[in-house]
Amino acid sequence: MNDDTVFALASGAGRAAIAIVRISGPDSAAVLTAMCGTLPFPRRAVVRALRDAEGELLDRAMVLWLPGPKSYTGEDSAELHVHAGRAVIDAVADRLAGLGLRPAEPGEFTRRAFLNGKLDLVSAEAVHDLVAAETDAQRRQALRQLEGALGDLYRDWSDRLRGALARQEALIDFPDEDLPPEVEADLLASVHSLRGEIGAHLDDRHRGEKIREGLCFAITGAPNVGKSSLINALAQRDVAIVSATPGTTRDAIETRIVLGGVPITLVDTAGLRDTTDPIEAEGVRRARSRAASADLVLTVIEAGSPFDAGGLVVANKSDLYPEQRPDVLPVSALTGAGLPELLARLAAEAIALTQSGGPPPLTRARHRTALSAAARWLADAEDAIEPELRGEAMRLALRAIGTITGQVGVEDILDSIFRQFCIGK
Ligand code: GDP
């Protein structure tokens, strides 16, 4: 289905020593031969002169000839490791276009790999996550998914459901044969346990999705207790405006930090007090809504003041108050006292909210939607009295799970998945 050959810059933009131009498709061999004279030995790095149509030298590059099907895309492919100057890259791209190649779409290499059966959709999505990974927890989760842990889980569910469906169909097709009486009970037990496992997987407090997307920690407290100063101290840069006038932090101010390998957005919930200033009131409204959906609320008080907050309470300005209550975490944004303890506590919370030693967690909304649908169909199957209706519900559940790994009818969702990729991947 891919009779055109594509190319793309697979390395990043910006100053670098080497740029990698990737080529995939049936004309790869002809293009390499045209540019470097002869086809290099497969899968071995060689240095070749790359030439334009007139034979003029474009660059001297390391070249890889990667014949299919043992390539990333499964097609004949090649890589040109050229000097990363803009003019070199442009000249090589012009030459490839002149030879009839077209620039690849975002994610097209991985899409071709999927269409050629080199990886399933869950692994393809993991490639995207690995390329985008900014923290260690994201990298580990993406790699685990790329290595197949999550795909295997979903395929195991598909296989078991397919087995149960086969037995259900036997009951429908041969109602008068003497099928052993336990067939129906067995298949219902399979459906029941599958529904339980899928339910448990769905009910994971969004751990995997939070590793991918990050957590939100809201910082609340009365004006002037030092919330902005504390965020600045935690983020070690001046992100919030610190002022001695109450109510100056007008908007919800966000800053990203990484703790325990998890990206965390700290939201400063502008002095939560009733106000007549419309701009400040909007800040307060947003802050309240962020705080309401936050994964953790950190209440900042001024050390020495009474409070009635629950959860994690941080008493700031500990430098002014030597006496501390035992139920608060004393810190001083000014001197830095107590900050290491606070950071350690926040990291522990981030890890508790995201990580678990069990099976791989669900990682994206697309999978969640499909699995929720599957769980509903399985519940329908359990409730169905008519064998035909039960069979149909099981078929629909199987189909929903199959869309996750790409085993069934996914043509319509491929665009939305691969569009998020970068070009060259
Ligand atoms: P916010 O309104 O809660 O965001 O408070 P700010 O961060 O703007 O701080 C209010 C005032 O308290 C500023 O004058 C800060 O310099 C001061 N402040 C903040 N943290 C500390 C601290 O740990 N010790 C002392 N002594 N002053 C602080």
Judged against a pLDDT cut of 70, whether residue 247 lies above it is answered with no
Angle between helices 108-115 and 121-132 (to 10 degrees): 160
- Residue 20 in contact with residue 83, Cβ under 8 Å? no
Task: Categorize the per-residue pLDDT at 274 as very low, low, confident or very high, splitting at 50, 70 and 90.
Answer: low
Protein residue with its CA nearest to atom 22 in ligand 1 = 317
State the pTM of this model: 0.76
Quick one: pLDDT at residue 271?
47
pLDDT tens-digit map of 381-418: 999 989 899 999 999 999 999 999 887 765 666 676 67
Burial label for 327, CB within 10 Å (0-12, 13-18, 19+), is exposed
Rounded mean pLDDT, 190-199: 96
Ligand 1, pocket-test mutation among 219, 225, 228, 229, most atoms within 8 A of CB: 229
> Which one of 3.10.20.30, 3.30.465.10, 3.30.1360.120, 3.90.1150.10 gives the CATH number of domain 6-115?
3.30.1360.120
User: Would you say 316 and 302 are in contact if contact means Cβ atoms under 8 Å apart?
Assistant: yes
State pLDDT tens for residues 162-188.
989 988 888 888 777 677 778 888 999
Fold of 213-354: Rossmann fold (3.40.50)
Question: Which class would CATH give 149-204+362-420?
Answer: mainly alpha
Ligand 1 centroid vs 266 CA: distance in angstroms? 17
Check whether 288 has a pLDDT greater than 80. Answer: no
How far is the centre of ligand 1, averaged over its atoms, from the C-alpha of 269 (Å)?
Answer: 15
pLDDT averaged over every residue in the chain:
87
User: Does the CB atom of residue 111 touch ligand 1 within 6 A?
Assistant: no
Distances (CA, A) of 203 to 2, 142, 213, 361: 40, 20, 18, 10
pLDDT at 245: 52
Q: How confident is the model at residue 234 (pLDDT cuts 50, 70, 90)?
A: confident
pLDDT per residue as tens digits for the range 328-371: 899 999 999 999 999 999 999 999 888 877 778 899 999 999 99
Which pLDDT does position 287 carry in this prediction?
64
Residue of 231, 242, 249, 299 to mutate, ligand 1, most atoms within 8 A of C-beta = 242
Q: How far apart are CA 146 and CA 120, in angstroms?
A: 9
319 lines ligand 1 (CB under 6 A): yes
Taking the centre of ligand 1 as the mean of its atom positions, its distance from the CA of residue 257, in whole angstroms, is 21
304 lines ligand 1 (CB under 6 A): no
- The pLDDT-based confidence of 283 (bands split at 50, 70, 90) is low
| Confidence band of 251 (pLDDT split at 50, 70, 90) | very low
**pLDDT confidence of residue 410:** 57
- Nearest CA, atom 10, ligand 1: 224
pLDDT at 422: 74
Q: How far is CA 72 from the centre of its chain?
A: 21
Quote the ligand 1 centre to 229 CA distance (angstroms).
6
Domains of the chain, residue spans? 6-115, 149-204+362-420, 213-354
Instruction: Supply the DSSP string of 249-313, one letter for each residue.
Output: --S-EEEEEEETTEEEEEEE----S--S-HHHHHHHHHHHHHHHH-SEEEEEEETTS-----SEE
Mean pLDDT of 223-243: 75
Distance of CA 335 from the midpoint of ligand 1 (Å): 11
Mutate to test the pocket of ligand 1, among 224, 227, 230, 318 (most ligand atoms within 8 A of CB): 224
Residue 232: CB within 6 Å of ligand 1?
A: no
CB 310 within 8 A of CB 327: no
Average pLDDT over residues 5-22: 91
- Backbone φ and ψ for 9, nearest 5 degrees, come out as -75, 115
What average pLDDT does the segment 26-46 reach?
96
Rounded percentage of the chain residues whose pLDDT exceeds 70 = 90
Indicate whether residue 333 lines ligand 1 (CB < 6 A).
yes
Residue with the smallest CA separation from ligand 1 atom 2 is 224
Residue-wise pLDDT for 118-129, tens only, equals 999 999 999 999
